[in-house]
Structure 1
Amino acid sequence: MEIAKSKAEGELLNWDDIQRMKYSWNVACEVMRLAPPVQGAFREAINDFVYNGFSVPKGWKIYWSTHSTHRNPEFFPEPLKFDPSRFEGSGPAPYTFVPFGGGPRMCPGKEYARLEILMFMHHLVWRFKWKKNIPDEKIIVDPLPKPEKCLPILLFPRKA
């Protein structure tokens, strides 16, 4: 709201505005931590190794789960709690938060997605108030978490 109130009538968001949306991005990251946009990925073992007492031979296909990675209490205390402050400062340890992958296989569209997410959030919050039609709607997993009734909401235009 602070950024929206600083804009003149009809003035568009600019890159500096997007860079100032740190808390909004923390909220978006926490949403992606709890409901990752991808389930995980397969990788091929390039060497024999032992993990957690299990031998993994070179050439085996390994599946890592984004969901499990993001809910590891070692890196995310109280992993089921919604807490955007986890992303303040330097944020989570490397490779513990991977909604866009990591390292050389990082999604090339990550910054574009960030821009789109922040612009969408800005316009939704600035232009509308909203109310859930089903306040205590259940979340189901099929295969990703989603509201049971698709989160029906009522949108109310904000008064200028």
Structure 2
Amino acid sequence: MKYSWNVAREAMRLSPPGQGAFREATTDFVYAGFTIPKGWKTFWTVYSTHKNPKYFPEPEKFDPSRFEGSGPAPFTYVPFGGGPRMCPGREYARQEILVFLHNVVTKFKIEKAIPNEKILYHSSPIPTKGAPVRLQPHKN
């Protein structure tokens, strides 16, 4: 199933399951000539990372062989995030994807209904009030 996982990873590179993440600048820094002050929120997108031609030549091309051998450089392929904040469900998702892929491929013929359908990407919606919640314990 190694090649199947490479196919799944390439699919997630082209259409990442997560949009990205907000981070707060812990110090002032300069990026692309712009000063980002400490405390500002920045939004990093998985999509732009996965489409960077520096790390993925011909970024629009579907090529599962990108993941053979040692694969992409660290933190250039991050559909589940990276580092200490990586999605804790990553391995479960991998197993679920492989089982699903096996069943679909072995039981169905797949054909695109709209062969050249475009995919639009938007940033994640952000609640204006911060999405407060109330937690109450279950009653036994």
- TM-score w.r.t. structure 2 length? 0.82
CA shift for structure 1 position 126? 1.4
CA shift for structure 1 position 137? 4.1
SS in 2 for 1:121: helix
More strand per residue: 1
CA distance in 2: counterparts of 1:55 and 1:132, whole angstroms: 45
Q: Which residue of 2 aligns with 1:153?
A: none
Judging changes above 3 Å, is the alpha-carbon distance between structure 1 residues 133 and 43 closer, same or farther for their aligned structure 2 residues?
closer
- TM-score w.r.t. structure 1 length? 0.72
Structure 2 residue 30 is the aligned partner of structure 1 residue 50: yes
Q: Which residue of 1 aligns with 2:131?
A: none
Structure 2 residue 10 is the aligned partner of structure 1 residue 27: no
SS in 2 for 1:97: coil
Q: Which runs of 5+ in 2 are unaligned?
A: 124-140
Q: Which runs of 5+ in 1 are unaligned?
A: 1-20, 145-160
Which structure is richer in relative contact order (CA contacts within 8 A, separation 6 or more)?
2
Residue-pair matches, total: 123
Q: Which residue of 1 aligns with 2:96?
A: 116
Q: Of 71, 80, 88, which residue of structure 2 is paired with 1:100?
A: 80
Q: What code does the residue aligned with 1:128 have? A: F
After superposition, where does 1:50-69 map in structure 2 within 5 Å?
50-69=30-49
CA deviations 1:22-69 (Å, max 9, x no partner) are 110110011011001111110001111111211111111010011101
CA shift for structure 1 position 90? 1.1
Structure 2 residue 120 is the aligned partner of structure 1 residue 141: yes
CA distance in 1: counterparts of 2:11 and 2:71, whole angstroms: 15
SS in 2 for 1:115: helix
CA distance in 2: counterparts of 1:133 and 1:49, whole angstroms: 47
SS in 1 for 2:84: helix
Q: What code does the residue aligned with 2:16 have? A: P
Structure 1 stretches of 4+ with a deviation exceeding 4 A read: none
CA distance in 1: counterparts of 2:37 and 2:121, whole angstroms: 32
Please report the RMSD computed on the Cα atoms of aligned residues, expressed in angstroms.
Answer: 1.5
Q: Which residue of 2 aligns with 1:155?
A: none
CA distance in 1: counterparts of 2:24 and 2:30, whole angstroms: 14
Judging changes above 3 Å, is the alpha-carbon distance between structure 1 residues 74 and 24 closer, same or farther for their aligned structure 2 residues?
same
Q: What code does the residue aligned with 1:45 have? A: A
